[in-house]
Chains A and B, each alone.
Chain A
Amino acid sequence: MDDNQLQPLTRIAIRVQAALSRCVRNGLCVEAFDRLEAQFSDISRLVRRFRICRERGWTAAQQNQRNVLNLCLDDLDDSIRHLTSQLGRDPIEPPNLRSVLDDLRETSDEFGGLRYESRGACLVAVTELIVLEDITLGQFEIRISLDALARSEPLDALHAVALRPNPCAADDAITHPHVNKERVCLGDATAAFQSALQSGRLADAFLITRAVLTTYNSDSPYCKLDAWHGRPCTDCGYIADGDDLYWCEGCEKDFCDECFSSCAACGTSSCDGCLTGCRLCDERVCDDCLSQCSTCGTTLCNGCLDDGLCPSCQEARTNTENDNDEASHYDTGEEGQSHQDQVELATSAMAAASA
Chain B
Amino acid sequence: MRILFVNNDGGGFADYIEVADGTTVQTLFAQQISHGKPEDYLIRVNRQPVTRDQVLQEGDRVTITPTKIEGAATR
Contacts and interface: CB of A to CB of B under 8 A. Distances in A.
A188 B70 contact: yes
Given A195-B14, A211-B65, A211-B67, A185 B72 contact: yes
B35 interface: no
A222 interface: yes
Interface size grouping (class) on chain A:
35 or more
A214 B6 contact: no
Contact of B69 (A199, A203, A212): A212
B33 interface: no
B34 interface: no
Nearest to B13: A195
Interface in A111-140: none
A214 B67 contact: yes
Interface of A is mostly: helix
Contacts of A185: 71-74
A22 interface: no
Contacts of B6: 201, 204
Contacts, number: 89
Interface string B1-40: 0000010111111100000000000000000000000000
Interface string A146-188: 0000000000000000000000000000000110100011111
Contact of A204 (B8, B11, B67, B70): B8
B69 A105 contact: no
Interface of B is mostly: loop
**Chain B CB within 10 Å — which of A105, A189, A214 has the most?**
A189
A86 interface: no
A80 to B, nearest CB: 27
A220 B75 CA distance: 10
B55 interface: no
A184 B71 contact: yes
Interface size grouping (class) on chain B:
20 to 34
Given A192-B9, A192-B10, A192-B12, A208 B65 contact: yes
B70 A217 contact: yes
B48 to A, nearest CB: 9
A220 B9 contact: no
Nearest to B70: A217
Interface string A95-112: 000000010011001000
Interface string A190-232: 0111111001010110011001111101011110000000000
**Chain A CB within 10 Å — which of B8, B68, B69, B72 has the most?**
B69
Contacts of A203: 47
Contacts of A208: 8, 65, 69
B69 A215 contact: yes
A191 B10 CA distance: 7
B47 A178 contact: no
Nearest to B74: A185
Contacts of B67: 211, 214
A191 B72 CA distance: 13
Interface of A: 102, 105-106, 109, 177-178, 180, 184-189, 191-196, 199, 201, 203-204, 207-208, 211-215, 217, 219-222
23 contacts: A102-B47, A106-B47, A185-B74, A186-B69, A187-B71, A189-B69, A189-B70, A192-B10, A192-B12, A192-B69, A195-B11, A195-B12, A196-B12, A196-B14, A207-B42, A207-B65, A212-B69, A212-B71, A214-B67, A215-B71, A217-B72, A220-B70, A221-B72
Given A106-B44, A192-B10, A203-B47, 4 more contacts: A185-B73, A191-B11, A196-B14, A211-B66
